[in-house]
């Protein structure tokens, strides 16, 4: 029998064992500083074609452009002119000084390979190098990126046969809790569910793990779009203590020489991500503790000796995405193998945009954290293999109910298109954009969202003229669209509808020459369809990697908990 568990989320360093096999660990959201920040896209740079992974250099479309492209850097701002729909608009985007450390909105992982001097007056490399080093340090880089950074390595990857396929039209296997039920885990197996807290940094979500013997606390980024766990080594050549420029102490490092249980298996590890970060080191095994009584022995992970990233990655995706030739048991599957959980499944709750923490719940579902019903969708395979945690996205529609500051915009600015957007303040929709069940990755490792160029233009077209901003490498949108009460509705197979405030997608990046605020849209054009953190905060999602389904519902923001294990 199972019973309702009212769990108390504690501070990031605390934990509580509540019931038999249930653990609450808070997840924290890290707050970004003002100005440009480094927004991650931790989708690994390799693709699977006919069962073989290949480098996709042409797909690296969002690496080195925070908020500037064809603009000119001058006096602490990016200035330029772009044209569209028969008019030209001047723009100016302010950059932070080295002392500015608060808040950030502009997208940074955007597409730019354009180094044509005829458009900028000088090359992109010249533009990058003209910006003070303090600025690059502020966003987590030790130097200006160059056009050569667009290259990518071939991943060391040989796929293995995938698990047998199974589908489900029901929500992820679970039972609604009842007040008189008891936990189902046994004392000798310790199988159950446990929380791992996630910190919201506004650009990524982090969790704290204890690694080695004695335990060393290290924070890592939770990523549903990759599959490897890796920690930054104390010997990382890019760390300040080793002569580099990265503050590796901010999130912690792993010193394998201080762990009596570390085993180096002499296997090289290397991975590149779409945001430009790279990491290389060696694979090995050691013990990882999530909370008292919940540990993985001889867990497989990489220790990174060379990376400009300031934080490691906890990938919780399918093993097919592992960046090594010989596949291994990654953490979600090891949790079941070592009887920490009964099924290779976890649920994800990021909480609201303003919240500082959410959580990932391995082996369980928290029925207090969503409204309506969980709807299950079969994960879409890639070349007959389960690779990405992706489900079909059918359409996107919009409702506008708040018109504050909707008028008095600069000449030529966007104006809403009647018939595509609802203006009557109701929840009914007229029109919208048919996305034709596009397989879409649900990815906590990506700050913004991505769809094809045509799809993004169709969505932006709901709000008026479609104007691409070369500086932001994104499409402009009227800033008032982000007013409270306005939202986008994401339709999955006409079975589940998730409402997301438009404020999640309207990003202020500067001003027009007239002084009016300039905003761009937080769904960017890309070669992979991804719903990132700006969508994921509005959904409660259950990833079942064993039955190959993802169940989703509208997230409910509250302090209540009603957790049951997934059997």
**pLDDT of the residue at 200:** 63
Average pLDDT rounded to a whole number, residues 79-83 = 43
More confident residue, 432 or 325: 325
Position 61 pLDDT exceeds 50: no
Residue 325 in tokens: 């030739």
Residue 253 pLDDT? 97
Highest mean pLDDT among 99-103, 295-299, 472-476, 515-519: 295-299
Residue 126 pLDDT class (50, 70, 90 cuts): low
21, 68, 142, 297 from 128: Cα distances, Å: 52, 10, 13, 45
Q: What are phi and psi of 267, to 5 degrees?
A: -105, 125
Return phi, psi of residue 378, to 5°: -65, 135
Residue 355 reports pLDDT greater than 80 = yes
Torsion of CA 53, 58, 61, 63, to 10 degrees: 70
- Of residues 155 and 549, more confidently modeled: 549
Gap between the Cα atoms of 195 and 36, Å rounded? 32
Instruction: Using alpha carbons, list the distances in angstroms from residue 310 to 141, 230, 338, 495.
Output: 9, 12, 31, 40
Q: How far is CA 432 from the centre of its chain?
A: 25
C-alpha to C-alpha distance for 275 and 110, rounded to whole angstroms: 8
Q: How much is the average pLDDT of 166-189?
A: 38
pLDDT score of 85 more than 50: no
More confident residue, 129 or 384: 384
With a cut of 60, say whether residue 159 has pLDDT above it.
Answer: no
Give residue 122's pLDDT band: very low, low, confident or very high (50, 70, 90).
very low
493-500 contact pairs (CB < 8 A, 24+)? 493/377, 493/392, 493/394, 493/437, 494/394, 495/375, 495/377, 496/375, 496/377, 496/552, 496/553, 498/535, 498/538, 498/539, 498/552, 498/554, 499/538, 499/554, 500/534, 500/535, 500/537, 500/538
Q: What is the pLDDT of residues 297-309, one digit of tens each?
A: 999 999 999 998 9
Over residues 344-361, the mean pLDDT reads 92
**Ranges of each domain in the chain:** 369-555
The CATH topology of domain 369-555 is Cathepsin D, subunit A; domain 1 (2.40.70)
Of 181-190, 269-278, 384-393, the poorest mean pLDDT is in: 181-190
Question: Nearest CA to 461 among 480, 475, 447, 446?
Answer: 475
Q: pLDDT by residue (tens digit) across 186-236?
A: 334 456 676 677 766 556 889 999 999 999 999 999 999 999 999 999 999
Active-site residue 223, yes or no? yes
- Whether the pLDDT of residue 156 is over 70: the answer is no
Written as six digits, the tokens of 470 are 């070369």
Q: How confident is the model at residue 489 (pLDDT cuts 50, 70, 90)?
A: very high
What separation in angstroms does the CA of 1 have from each of 175, 178, 183, 185, 562?
10, 9, 6, 10, 14
Q: Which of 223, 228, 277, 547 is catalytic?
A: 223
Do residues 35 and 104 touch, judged by C-beta distance below 8 A? yes
- Confidence (pLDDT) at 493: 97
> Percentage of the chain with pLDDT > 70?
60
Q: Residue 26 pLDDT more than 90?
A: no
Distance (Å, whole) CA 413 – CA 163: 51
- pLDDT confidence bin for 158, thresholds 50/70/90: very low
Kindly report the backbone phi and psi dihedral angles of residue 180, in degrees, each rounded to the nearest multiple of 5, phi listed first. Answer: -100, 10
- Strand 549-555 to strand 563-565: parallel, antiparallel, or no bridges (unpaired)? unpaired
452, 429 contact by CB (below 8 A): no
- Of residues 150 and 68, more confidence is placed in 150
pLDDT score of 95 more than 50: no
Confidence check: pLDDT of 48 > 80? no
- Partnered with residue 231 across adjacent β-strands are 303
195, 340 Cβ separation under 8 angstroms: no
Burial tier of 97 (Cβ tally within 10 Å: 0-12, 13-18, 19+)? middle
Per-residue pLDDT for 504 more than 50?
yes
- Residue 384: predicted pLDDT: 96
Residue 84 scores a pLDDT above 90: no
| Interatomic CA distance for residues 478 and 405, integer angstroms | 10
Q: Which of 286, 305, 443, 533 is catalytic?
A: 443
pLDDT at residue 125 in the model: 53
Supply the mean pLDDT for the chain: 73
Peptide bond into 214 cis (omega under 30): yes
- Please state the pTM of the whole predicted model: 0.71
- Nearest C-alpha neighbor of 78 from the set 86, 66, 64: 66
Q: At 86, phi and psi to the nearest 5?
A: 80, 10
88 or 269, which is more confident = 269
Whole-number pLDDT of residue 82: 39
Between 409 and 164, residue with greater pLDDT: 409
pLDDT tier at 46, thresholds 50, 70, 90: very low
Q: Looking at the predicted structure, is the pLDDT value of residue 535 above 90?
A: yes
pLDDT over 60 (residue 538) = yes
Burial class (CB within 10 angstroms; exposed 0-12, middle 13-18, buried 19+) of 472 = buried
247 is catalytic: no
pLDDT band at 496 (very low <50, low <70, confident <90, very high): very high
Cα–Cα nearest to 84, from 358, 523, 461: 461
Q: Which of these ranges, 93-102, 298-307, 350-359, has the smallest mean pLDDT?
A: 93-102
What was the pLDDT predicted at 110?
35
Question: Tokens 């595509």 — which residue?
Answer: 420
Residue 489 neighbours by CB under 8 Å, 6+ apart = 396, 397, 398, 399, 429, 432, 497, 498, 499, 500
pLDDT over 80 at 103, yes or no:
no
Run of H or E including 120: helix 117-120
């Amino acid at each position: 029998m199972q019973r309702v568990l009212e769990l108390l989320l504690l501070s990031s360093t605390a934990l509580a064992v509540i019931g038999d096999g249930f653990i609450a660990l808070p997840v924290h959201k890290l707050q970004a500083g003002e100005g440009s920040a480094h927004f991650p896209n931790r989708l690994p740079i390799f693709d699977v074609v006919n069962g073989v992974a290949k480098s996709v250099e042409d797909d690296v479309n969002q690496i080195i452009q925070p908020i500037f492209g064809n603009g000119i850097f001058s006096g602490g701002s990016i200035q330029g002119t772009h044209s569209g729909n028969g008019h030209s608009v001047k723009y100016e985007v302010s950059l932070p000084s080295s002392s500015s450390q608060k808040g950030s909105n502009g997208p940074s992982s955007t597409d730019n390979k354009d180094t044509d001097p005829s458009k900028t007056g000088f090359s992109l490399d010249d533009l990058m190098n003209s910006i003070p080093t303090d600025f690059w340090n502020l966003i987590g880089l030790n130097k200006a990126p160059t056009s050569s950074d667009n290259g990518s390595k071939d991943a060391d990857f040989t796929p293995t046969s995938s698990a047998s396929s199974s589908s489900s039209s029901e929500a992820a296997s679970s039972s609604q809790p009842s007040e008189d039920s008891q936990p189902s885990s046994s004392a000798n197996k310790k199988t159950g569910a446990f929380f791992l807290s996630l910190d919201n940094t506004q650009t990524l979500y982090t969790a704290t793990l204890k690694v080695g013997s004695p335990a060393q606390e290290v924070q890592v980024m939770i990523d549903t779009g990759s599959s490897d766990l890796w920690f930054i080594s104390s010997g990382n050549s890019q760390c300040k203590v080793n002569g580099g420029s990265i503050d590796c102490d901010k999130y912690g490092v792993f010193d394998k020489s201080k762990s009596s249980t570390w085993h180096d298996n002499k296997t090289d590890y290397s991975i590149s991500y779409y945001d430009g970060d790279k990491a290389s080191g060696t694979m090995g095994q050691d013990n990882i503790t999530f909370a008292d009584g919940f540990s993985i022995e001889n867990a497989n992970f990489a220790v990174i000796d060379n990376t400009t990233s300031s934080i490691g990655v906890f990938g919780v995706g399918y093993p097919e995405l592992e960046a090594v030739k010989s596949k291994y048991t990654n953490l979600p599957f090891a949790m079941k193998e070592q009887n920490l959980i009964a099924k290779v499944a976890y649920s994800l709750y990021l909480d609201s945009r303003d919240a500082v923490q959410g959580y990932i719940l391995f082996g369980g579902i928290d029925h207090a954290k969503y409204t309506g019903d969980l709807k299950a969708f079969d994960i879409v395979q890639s070349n007959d293999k389960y690779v990405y945690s992706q489900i079909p996205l059918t359409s996107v529609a919009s409702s506008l109910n708040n018109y504050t500051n909707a008028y008095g915009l600069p000449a030529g600015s966007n104006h809403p298109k009647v018939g595509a957007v609802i203006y009557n303040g109701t929840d009914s929709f007229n029109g919208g954009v048919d996305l034709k069940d596009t397989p879409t990755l649900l990815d906590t490792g990506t700050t913004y969202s991505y769809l094809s160029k045509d799809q993004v233009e169709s969505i932006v077209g709901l709000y008026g003229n479609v104007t691409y901003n070369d500086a932001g490498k994104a499409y402009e949108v009227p800033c008032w669209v982000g007013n409270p009460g306005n939202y986008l509705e994401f339709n999955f197979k006409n079975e589940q509808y998730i409402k997301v405030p438009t404020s999640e997608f309207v990003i202020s990046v500067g001003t027009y020459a007239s002084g009016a605020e300039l905003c761009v849209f937080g769904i960017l054009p890309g070669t992979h369809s991804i719903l990132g953190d700006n969508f994921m905060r509005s959904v409660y999602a259950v990833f079942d990697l064993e039955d190959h389904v993802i169940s989703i519902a509208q997230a409910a923001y509250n302090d209540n908990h009603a957790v049951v294990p997934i059997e």
